[in-house]
Amino acid sequence: MSLFSLIAALLLEQLHPLASRKYLFVWLTRYVNFFQHHLNTGEHKHGKIAWLLAVLLPLCGTAALYGLSYFIYPVFAWAFSVLVLYLTMGFHQFSHYYTEIHQALRDNDLDKARNILSTWRGVSCHDLNYEEVARVTIEEGLLASHRRVFGVIVWFVITMLLGLGPVGAILYRMSQFIYTRWDNQKDVELSEFGMFARQAYHWIEWLPLRLTATIFAIVGDFEDTVYCWRTQAQNWPDPEAGIVLASGAGAIGVRLGLPISQGGLPLDRPELGIGDEADVDFMQSTVGLVWRALVFWIVLLLLLGLATLVRI
């Protein structure tokens, strides 16, 4: 069921991207803000209670609906799993930005590429040159592919194997969303309140990050991927993001990181990967890497399904 749910959700999003995702984002923001507003006293224990309530409520609801739909008729449970993946994966949510930037650089329209990248990142990228735009776009694409696709798949598969249905996809995206909303190191009160959300997200991300890096190694340049992962990932300001970026850079043989211009000033960043400087050809190589990794997941789920049938 996991395999066909994943394929159906991917096809559905490609054929009919979720136009109302922004309304879902607004609803989720109000939902997590409710717990923050009523439970935030600036203490760690209250942040823990708020996180558990905010996450467990949708998880229990998802598990109950999956169990009920499976009891009525298994195909309803499958359709519900497709719906959950459709709402949580968001492949098209970032791929169209990447494609448009790629095409703009191919057309030598640097200003257009800068504008699209600025919209995508929410940060002005008008000081970046051609190579920097390509490099930052590859970085954003690798991170988005993990956070919007591969991380969701990992937890979706885990809970499906445990018989809990698509609960894992909700767990991953909810923990990620709450982390981004409550993790504010500059606000002392919110920092204490969001500490458990930060810890929980790191725990939940531990396995998906390493599976993504491992699959990049399998479908890319294995030796360079492992080398960059082991020696460079920890140097990135966010070591968890560094795992995805370093392994992705090693897999396709491109140099990421490095200083860039931001706000008229140089932004120092460590070097990730080995090989040549980023350009439109490496952007295409990144697309190939992501698709190969996705195909790897599909094949893996197919083998798991066949193994289950043989055991039965």
pLDDT at 262: 79
186-215 mean pLDDT = 86
**Looking at the predicted structure, is the pLDDT value of residue 179 above 60?**
yes
The half-sphere exposure of 256 on its side-chain side, counting CA atoms within 13 A, is 35
DSSP 13-47: HHHS--TTHHHHHHHHHHHHHHHHHHH-SS-HHHH
pLDDT at 191: 72
User: pLDDT of 10-65, one tens digit each?
Assistant: 888 877 776 556 677 888 889 999 998 888 877 888 889 999 999 999 999 999 99
Please, which pLDDT band fits residue 303 given cuts at 50, 70 and 90? confident
pLDDT at 192: 79
Distance CA(5)–CA(53), nearest Å, equals 28
Give backbone dihedrals phi and psi of 95, rounded to 5 degrees, phi first: -65, -30
Nearest partner of 138 among 124, 151, 120, judged by Cα:
120
Q: Is 263 left (phi over 0), alpha (psi -120 to 50) or beta?
A: left
143-156 mean pLDDT = 95
Q: How many CB atoms within 10 Å of residue 249?
A: 32
In sequence order, the β-bridge partners of residue 256 are: 272
Give backbone dihedrals phi and psi of 7, rounded to 5 degrees, phi first: -65, -45
Q: Give 118: exposed, middle or buried? Use CB within 10 Å, 0-12, 13-18, 19+.
A: middle
Residue 86's contacts (CB-CB under 8 Å, 6 or more residues apart) are 9, 12, 13, 18
Distance CA(270)–CA(286), nearest Å, equals 20
> In whole numbers, what is the pLDDT of the chain averaged over residues?
90
Residue 159's contacts (CB-CB under 8 Å, 6 or more residues apart) are 165, 166, 167, 168, 169, 171
Residue 242's contacts (CB-CB under 8 Å, 6 or more residues apart) are 232, 233, 234, 235, 236, 272
199-222 mean pLDDT = 96
132-156 mean pLDDT = 95
Distance CA(255)–CA(278), nearest Å, equals 6
Give backbone dihedrals phi and psi of 232, rounded to 5 degrees, phi first: -120, -30
pLDDT at 185: 47
The one-letter amino acid at 131: E
Span of 9-18, 91-100, 166-175 with lowest mean pLDDT: 9-18
User: pLDDT of 233-249, one tens digit each?
Assistant: 999 999 999 999 999 99
The one-letter amino acid at 55: V
In sequence order, the β-bridge partners of residue 272 are: 256
92-96 mean pLDDT = 80
**Looking at the predicted structure, is the pLDDT value of residue 311 above 70?**
no
The one-letter amino acid at 170: I
**Looking at the predicted structure, is the pLDDT value of residue 263 above 80?**
no
Nearest partner of 287 among 240, 250, 252, 263, judged by Cα:
252
